[in-house]
Amino acid sequence: MAEAGADVALVSRNTPAETAAKVQATGRRALVLEADLSDRAQTQGLIDRVIAEWGIVDILVNNAGTIRRAPVLEFSQEDWDTVIEVNQNAVFLLSQAAARAMVSRGRGGKIINIASLLSFQGGIRVASYTAAKGAVAGLTRIFANELAPHDIQVNAIAPGYIETANTAALRADPKRSGEILTRIPVGRWGRPEDLQGAIVFLASAASRYVTGSVLVVDGGWMAR
């Protein structure tokens, strides 16, 4: 986003010093806001904090996510609640707050959610994650429907299997990792930079007539 010309407000439980430095190295501004999105009290007011600093929010990327794994018969209420709060409720609350600011300003905007292949599939041992990512796809569509008259486009990206902390356990399991790789036509796990083009497209004027879509970036997994 910074390489494409955006100033970037970064929200994280811990200070994202490395990311902030990369943003600033492009000549853009980085605003660091520490918040734990599993705590609703910390989620509320984040958009206002950005506007207080910069006076504007043009683009929101709902990228925060967490995951818990257990069989459905053993899944704990705590693990359910934590994932739903971060992956679903925070998406709604931040989108609502950003949309209100965009509508009030009257110059349109972009909201980009991070969905998942589990927005389409059930998965195994990740009940709350699957539920939340299904909800993200639905929220993307209803926000797109209601905000279209305000020139606000709302879309989502559904990444395939990407090399992140969330997939470390899968990649460390030779059997499971092998099963995943055999279904990916390009033959490798995705990298975070594989999502750059999709993010910039959906954040730019190039996608002015695209809204309510879930763009799959998965190396061909869903085609298989």
List residues with catalytic annotation: 129
Helices 90-105 + 127-147 axis angle, to 10:
10
